Structure 1
């Protein structure tokens, strides 16, 4: 299991290697800067949802993203109210990152889902992020209201005959020419993006794929299934038979952008790419980092997403 554990994203490592004491935290050495901030002061208000069992919040695992946006001139605050009871008031952009399931299903009421859809249709801007299981299940009903299908499992790619990874890197040659990729000038063009253990997505008609899923990528329904597949392959099982039994073809994307009525929507199938985390071990292993601290292109990708959502990009 060693090769598999090292290939997994850091959220999964806590489950893959429970015998080793770990501490996962925001990287204290990550201090984002923006050479030319989009707003000198009083930029648009970005509300990061914290009212739905969120794994990523403004003062928690998304503090690095908050610091990046504030360095770019945005006003960022945490959301604490339901979306149908004041949670959308004053928001220029709503960010929902890894809302957690409630009773095994959606943490959003039907009324909240309708409120968000109506708000976006009238001109609101939404960044919806849902990671590997169980976060896809939690966000599924809200995503479906915008025509987005979620894989809901663990997306992965094969890196050899018997090795797999859930850390997926998207190089420049994989990108199209959407403004989120090209930015406002050559300096803002996204050179690469790395995702750290997420799910796959399929967008509605007319949506643009920002992160096209790696060719041949597949998805396991949950972490135990992914571990069983890794063990089967490492033990010498027939590759194609094991893949067919324990996984399905991944959906075509891990990042989408589209308009919805008068509003704009970006959906990502992985949350760690816009954070900066470090895992520290008690057995002397070196620290392991993931997010913007390990993939510098991710920060520009995050900035460009907000620039497009707030109308700085066409």
Structure 2
């Protein structure tokens, strides 16, 4: 198998033995610190992390590290348990939706009703702030219709890039500072808040509406397989393929151009990310007999990710222009 630098998290666990897959957890050693909090403790805007739509990432679960980071910056963080058209947007300054629609059904049904999508679109247009995160399949398909309301297309599969040598594929995608544009999310409030790099761990690709800023440009030549079995089949084929380009063409398609987007929408603001693990802090702990070292992924493995997450929130809430 030639899956170089295989991303941790859902993908790595899916490829591991079932007994090892039980070792994934929030990193107990992750302690976010913010040297210059944006707000006094618990005096900042209200951030609601959606939990009403079979979300895989929740405030006290996979997104506990992100919630802790936001609290350290002064935000008031709460779980959202109501539908968007039934009070779920009341009193909310920023809505975070991360990996809604955690279901094994095929095809994946939309995670949001038409009425909820209409309510959310109207809320953002009137000045609401939305951070929408949808990862690799099945999460892209579950959020696809909602994203389309804001002019965003989702690849819905597993994005990957070929390594420098050209023979291996990787789903760990690192975006260095030299690839960033001039958006305030990268610049921060001053030089101390500049984002140095961002790493995504698996995920899908995106395309934004006209006028959207691409925050994370997909690597040149990046591809996307429709699902995990197809990605695994491609990795296996690359072991023996005399003509690897043919296997790549058969089992994947060109990725959409982005993995992160930011844009104004009416009086509101929207950021869309194609990967959720970058704003968490996860640990895969293997038993000693496995011979494998523990693996970390997210803000505990890529130091620029926490700054990226804070700057996203600062832009959404108007601290950045």
TM-score by length of structure 1 reads: 0.97
**1:5 CA drift (Å):** 7.0
Q: Distance in 1 between matches of 2:73 and 2:18?
A: 41
Q: Distance in 2 between matches of 1:221 and 1:64?
A: 29
Query: 2:298 is matched with which residue?
Result: 291
Q: Answer whether contact 1:122 1:261 (CA < 8 A) is retained.
A: yes
Q: Distance in 2 between matches of 1:235 and 1:67?
A: 46
Unpaired stretches in structure 1, ≥5 consecutive residues: none
Q: Answer whether contact 1:196 1:291 (CA < 8 A) is retained.
A: yes
Say which of 261, 267, 271 aligns to 1:266: 271
Query: 1:260-292 CA distances to partner (integer Å, 9 max, x unpaired)?
Result: 000000000000000000001122421100000
Q: Distance in 1 between matches of 2:303 and 2:175?
A: 13
Query: 1:39 is matched with which residue?
Result: 39
Q: Distance in 1 between matches of 2:118 and 2:19?
A: 44
Say which of 252, 261, 267 aligns to 1:256: 261
Tell whether 2:3 aligns with 1:4.
Answer: yes
Unpaired stretches in structure 2, ≥5 consecutive residues: none
Say which of 163, 176, 182 aligns to 1:177: 182
Query: 2:97 is matched with which residue?
Result: 96
**1:234 CA drift (Å):** 1.3
Query: 2:13 is matched with which residue?
Result: 14
**1:10 CA drift (Å):** 2.5
Which sits farther off after the overlay, 98-107 or 26-35? 98-107
- Which secondary structure state, in structure 1, belongs to the residue aligned with residue 68 of structure 2? helix
Tell whether 2:313 aligns with 1:306.
Answer: yes
Query: 1:191-220 CA distances to partner (integer Å, 9 max, x unpaired)?
Result: 000000000000000000000111110000
Q: Answer whether contact 2:6 2:12 (CA < 8 A) is retained.
A: no
Q: Answer whether contact 2:9 2:277 (CA < 8 A) is retained.
A: no
CA RMSD of aligned residues (A): 1.2
For residues 142-161 of structure 1, what are the structure 2 equivalents within 5 Å? 142-159=146-163, 160-161=165-166
- Which secondary structure state, in structure 1, belongs to the residue aligned with residue 35 of structure 2? coil
Query: 1:25 is matched with which residue?
Result: 25
Say which of 280, 285, 295 aligns to 2:285: 280
Query: 1:64-96 CA distances to partner (integer Å, 9 max, x unpaired)?
Result: 000000000000000000000011011000000
Query: 1:32-58 CA distances to partner (integer Å, 9 max, x unpaired)?
Result: 000000001310000000010000000
Q: Distance in 2 between matches of 1:225 and 1:212?
A: 24
Say which of 140, 145, 150 aligns to 1:141: 145
Count residues in correspondence: 313
Say which of 227, 235, 240 aligns to 2:240: 235
**1:237 CA drift (Å):** 3.6
- Which secondary structure state, in structure 2, belongs to the residue aligned with residue 139 of structure 1? helix
- Which secondary structure state, in structure 2, belongs to the residue aligned with residue 304 of structure 1? helix
- Which secondary structure state, in structure 2, belongs to the residue aligned with residue 77 of structure 1? strand
Q: Answer whether contact 1:255 1:267 (CA < 8 A) is retained.
A: yes
For residues 78-117 of structure 1, what are the structure 2 equivalents within 5 Å? 78-100=79-101, 104-117=108-121
**1:9 CA drift (Å):** 3.2
